[in-house]
Chain A
Amino acid sequence: MSDTSLWILFAVIGIGNFLLRGCFILLPGSQRQPVWLNRALRFVPASLLAALVFPALIRLQSEGLEFDWHRLLAALIAAGVAWKSKNMLLTLGVGMGVLWGLQYLD
């Protein structure tokens, strides 16, 4: 991607983010959101984040499942740490540490 198209893409996303944040605040009168939309939005983070995490660790190819066991093991341990601690710094430290350890040993 060229530098110009990169900046255009970022600007469009920036404006989009601003409109998402401002939509109900900036509009005159305070509209209410439809209930079905609220119900669907509740599942957006879980679905989208899982859809971003899983293929970074495991991929389905024509020959079957393909994965890097270093990364998969490090991610599973990091998931346990994230679940117990909810701490980003600790999770990143443990996840990266396990990955580096496994790469060093292998």
Chain B
Amino acid sequence: MSYSTASAAWWAGIKALLPIAPGIVPFGLVTGVTAVKSGLAPDTALGMTTLFYAGSSQIAALQLMRDDAAIPVILLTALVINLRFMMYSASLAPYLGPLPRRWKWPLSYMLSDHAYALSILKYRNNSMGDYGHCFFAGAALSMWLVWMVSATVGIIVGAQIPPGWSLDFAIPLVFLVLLIPVIQDSPSLVAALVAGSVAVSAYSLPYNLGLMLAAISGISAGLWLESRQLHAASATVTESES
């Protein structure tokens, strides 16, 4: 079943996003609270949220700013966390690429994990018809609104919360919630353990360079284990064939 009109696709996109909004709101709130609790003025915090439009990237940047990390390290970390958007961009390009620029620019800015996940399923099932971009726009814009409203509430509320509530502890807690679902197999577990241990041992390196070293070590360890497993699997296949 595909959408016969642009507005049907648009409303379907909005309706698809709404059920997951309650899961997004707490993350938006925490992002807003963290920004003001890190010493940003409310308008700077709101500007940062609008420019980044990426919660984990923003919280990581805020944590590094607290730690007085070097600017290139903040920049690199904030962008590396978002490298996954390149994968989304590549997989949506066949569908969104042919659109005119007035569509592509705003849709690129609003590309998010949730809007991607909802749309790519429908594109792959061939259930989008001619109005897939309207579905994507509906989902992406409502995601953006939910995010901005909840972050703004967080910024307003955060300014009222007294210090001494140890709210900085929310930062590692948010990363824990994001970390646990991405550990799906042994290579990703090893990547996390290696990166975590290197980060702990190399913490005293200047400019938070330990973070970059840790990430590179983790990625290499994951790749190494994965290729070993692929190798072992193909060896078993060859043995059973002979």
Contacts and interface: CB of A to CB of B under 8 A. Distances in A.
A17 B53 contact: yes
Place the interface of chain A in its size category.
35 or more
Interface residues of B, number: 92
Nearest to B164: A103
B92 A24 contact: yes
Contacts of A100: 165-166
Given A44-B80, A50-B218, A54-B196, A99 B169 contact: yes
Q: Interface SS of chain A: helix, strand, loop or mixed?
A: helix
Given A25-B107, A43-B223, A50-B218, A92 B174 contact: yes
A7 B65 CA distance: 13
Given A13-B51, A39-B226, A60-B204, A49 B79 contact: no
Contact of B196 (A1, A50, A87): A50
B177 A86 contact: yes
A75 B65 CA distance: 22
Contacts of A14: 50-53
A50 B51 contact: no
B167 to A, nearest CB: 8
Contacts of B123: none
B39 to A, nearest CB: 10
Interface of B: 23, 26-27, 30, 40, 44, 47-48, 50-54, 56-57, 60-61, 63, 65, 71, 74-75, 77-90, 92-94, 96-97, 104-105, 107-109, 111, 165-167, 169-183, 187-189, 191-201, 203-204, 210-211, 214-219, 222-223, 226
